[in-house]
């Protein structure tokens, strides 16, 4: 199947839209650190997200959408280029895109779109032409100027808005634009220790998830008041999973699986849910196709417009994800094929830690204390363990806590996962450098039952980036997308 869609094909599909010749507006709203399951429309019993739920009820909810990295900046750089992290030149935390990387927002701007960025950036430098209007945002979640930016946009051209909240990123900030939650409303995943400290920590997270929802409601109301809601594609998502143990930075679904809700009345005629696999790198191709702009060879993602037209359709059958340096040295890769997930850890002798060590992470601190006291369950102990290979069957183990890599009944599946990941590694130019970026600081220590965190000092001493030995930033091959019969 041809990965790239020609401009002629894109224009042909665009002409099938009800608004003949009228290019749609696009509003991309991205949260900071929210797992898919933590919204009402995905089944959370207590977190209030009525505005997102309403978009899902009138549009399309995707149940199997994944980011390419469960770490803020690599994920965002991947989305805006439509490329895997090691192909962007910015695969690690706190890296900006190299100047030669093509952003789809710049292509939209060149095609006549008014492009806006408000809130968290974490992607591009001062000289980037990816957006015509840039704002740092206002307020605790940096969302307070979103409506103002929509009101002040030029009214004679289509627009693309990248609205990037910092909700729900630590440390927690409370205001009156979202409800507060009680301990008995918290649902603690079984792989995290459940106590009063952890529950208090989760109430702050719940508040910020609901505040993210509040400002989405403000945006939707403004689009409706301007009379452009029906011709605007709204996509609600997050850059990675919740900032709690065994979630953010990990390659499990709790870290990589993201909310993915599309509201676009001109194309989605009937509300629906889709279980089709979607990668965050597919958003760029989708926007360009929708706008009638040629998709450049640099885009490794594929358009999911066919799925928007038919929720039973598929635009891919494989998902790949990466874990690179995020305060701690690491190199892991993941492939999902069917309902199976294979993870390869290329640094098994290193600590399996990530951001989970620090004074701003009470629930993580509780895990360390309980582990030192021998109070963790076998499932909770997995946070501290490292495995070379992991294999999970999502139909039987959605939380991915039962590693089947040594189960003889899954030997063929294990070999298939190895083969698919090996093929992707070779075709996209990934590598495991000898000199990976080292740990930013030592792991915490337990002294008299208390967790002592080392002070972070100095600049990041970057090692060799994954893929750089193969000049992966120049490689456009998307790797395998479809399972062969």
Structure tokens at 335: 């492939």
Examine the domain organization and report whether 111 and 126 are in the same domain.
Answer: yes
Residue 481 lies in a domain: no
292 and 377 fall within a common domain: no
Helix pair angle (282-291, 72-81), 10° resolution: 30
Q: Is residue 219 domain-shared with residue 345, that is, in the same domain?
A: no
Residue 238 and residue 32 in contact, taking contact as beta carbons nearer than 8 Å: yes
How many whole angstroms separate alpha carbon 368 and alpha carbon 230?
50
DSSP code of residue 31: E
Question: How is residue 169 written in tokens?
Answer: 């990123």
172 and 27 co-located in one domain: yes
pLDDT at 183: 97
Number of CB atoms found within 10 A of residue 269's CB: 9
Please check whether residue 480 lies inside any domain of the structure: no
Q: Is residue 65, in this structure, part of any structural domain at all?
A: yes
User: Residue 282 domain-assigned?
Assistant: yes
Beta bridge partners of 238: 31
Sign of the alpha-carbon torsion through 121, 123, 127, 133: negative
Six-digit token pair at 212? 């993210």
**445-447 and 450-452 as β-strands: parallel, antiparallel, unpaired?**
antiparallel
Helix axes 196-225, 50-58, angle to 10 degrees: 60
Asked if residue 254 and residue 144 are part of one domain, the reply reads yes
Q: Is residue 482 part of a domain?
A: no
106 and 22 within one domain: yes
CB atoms within 10 A of CB 435: 8
Same domain, 155 and 220: yes
In a domain, 485, yes or no: no
Domain count, the chain: 2
38 is a domain residue: yes
**337 and 231 inside one domain:** no
* Average pLDDT per 10 consecutive residues for the chain, totaling 485 residues: 40 42 90 97 98 98 98 96 98 94 97 96 92 95 97 96 96 95 97 96 98 98 97 97 94 97 94 97 98 97 96 97 92 97 93 64 91 93 92 97 97 98 98 92 81 77 95 97 86
Regarding whether 93 and 60 lie in a shared domain, the answer is yes
pTM of the model: 0.93
In terms of Cβ atoms closer than 10 Å to its own Cβ (0-12, 13-18, 19+), residue 226 is: middle
Residue 300 contacts residue 321 (beta carbons within 8 Å): no
DSSP codes of every residue in 443-481: PPEEETTEEEPPPP-S-----PPTTGGGTGGG-------
- Compute the chain's Rg from CA coordinates: 22
Q: What is the pLDDT of residue 444?
A: 81
Q: What is the CATH number of the domain that holds 143?
A: 3.40.720.10
Residue 439's pLDDT is 85
User: Does residue 12 belong to any structural domain of this protein?
Assistant: yes
Distance CA 123, CA 90 (A): 9
Same domain, 199 and 332: no
Most distant CA pair in the chain, distance:
70
Same domain, 100 and 151: yes
User: How far apart are the C-alpha atoms of 10 and 469, rounded to whole Å?
Assistant: 35
The residue segments making up the domain with residue 65 are 7-316
């Amino acid at each position: 199947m041809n990965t790239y869609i020609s401009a002629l094909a894109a224009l042909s599909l665009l002409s099938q839209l009800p608004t003949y010749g009228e290019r749609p507006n696009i509003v991309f709203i991205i949260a900071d650190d929210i797992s898919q399951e933590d919204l009402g429309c995905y089944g959370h019993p207590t977190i209030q997200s009525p505005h997102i739920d309403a978009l899902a009820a009138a549009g399309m909810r995707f149940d199997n959408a994944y980011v390419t990295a469960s770490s803020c900046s690599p994920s965002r750089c991947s989305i805006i280029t439509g490329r895997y992290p090691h192909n962007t030149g910015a695969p690690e935390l706190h890296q900006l895109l190299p100047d030669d990387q093509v952003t789809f927002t710049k292509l939209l701007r060149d095609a006549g779109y008014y492009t806006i960025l408000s809130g968290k950036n974490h992607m591009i430098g001062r000289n980037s032409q990816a957006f015509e209007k840039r704002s740092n945002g206002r307020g605790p979640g940096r969302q307070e100027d979103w409506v103002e930016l929509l009101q002040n946009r030029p009214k004679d051209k289509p627009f693309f808005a990248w609205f990037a909240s910092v909700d729900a990123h630590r440390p927690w900030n409370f205001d009156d634009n979202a409800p507060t939650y009680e301990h008995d409303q918290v649902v603690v995943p079984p792989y995290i220790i459940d106590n009063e400290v952890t529950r208090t920590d989760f109430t702050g997270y719940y508040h910020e998830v609901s505040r993210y929802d509040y400002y989405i409601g403000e945006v939707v109301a403004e689009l409706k008041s301007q009379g452009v809601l029906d011709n605007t594609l709204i996509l609600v998502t997050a850059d990675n999973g919740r900032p709690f143990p065994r979630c953010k930075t990990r390659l499990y679904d709790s870290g990589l699986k993201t909310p993915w809700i599309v509201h676009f009345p001109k194309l989605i005629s009937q509300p629906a849910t889709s279980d089709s696999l979607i990668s965050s790198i597919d958003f760029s191709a989708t926007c360009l196709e929708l706008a009638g702009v040629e998709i450049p060879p640099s885009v490794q993602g594929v358009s999911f417009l066919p799925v928007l037209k038919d929720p039973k359709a598929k635009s891919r059958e494989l998902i790949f994800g990466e874990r690179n340096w995020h305060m701690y040295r690491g190199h892991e890769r993941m492939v999902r094929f069917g309902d199976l997930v294979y993870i390869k850890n290329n640094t098994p002798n290193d600590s399996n830690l990530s951001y989970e060590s620090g004074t701003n992470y009470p629930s993580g601190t509780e895990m360390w204390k309980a582990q030192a006291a021998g109070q963790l369950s076998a499932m909770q102990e997995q946070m501290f363990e490292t495995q070379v290979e992991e294999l999970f069957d999502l139909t039987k183990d959605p939380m991915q806590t039962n590693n089947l890599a040594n189960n003889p009944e899954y030997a063929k599946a294990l070999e298939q996962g190895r083969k698919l990941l090996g093929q992707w590694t070779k075709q996209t130019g990934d590598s495991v450098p000898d000199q990976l970026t080292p740990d930013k600081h030592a792991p915490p220590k337990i002294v008299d039952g208390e967790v002592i965190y080392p002070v972070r000092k100095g600049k990041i001493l970057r090692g060799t980036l994954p893929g750089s030995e193969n000049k992966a930033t120049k490689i456009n091959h998307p790797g395998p997308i479809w399972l062969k019969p």
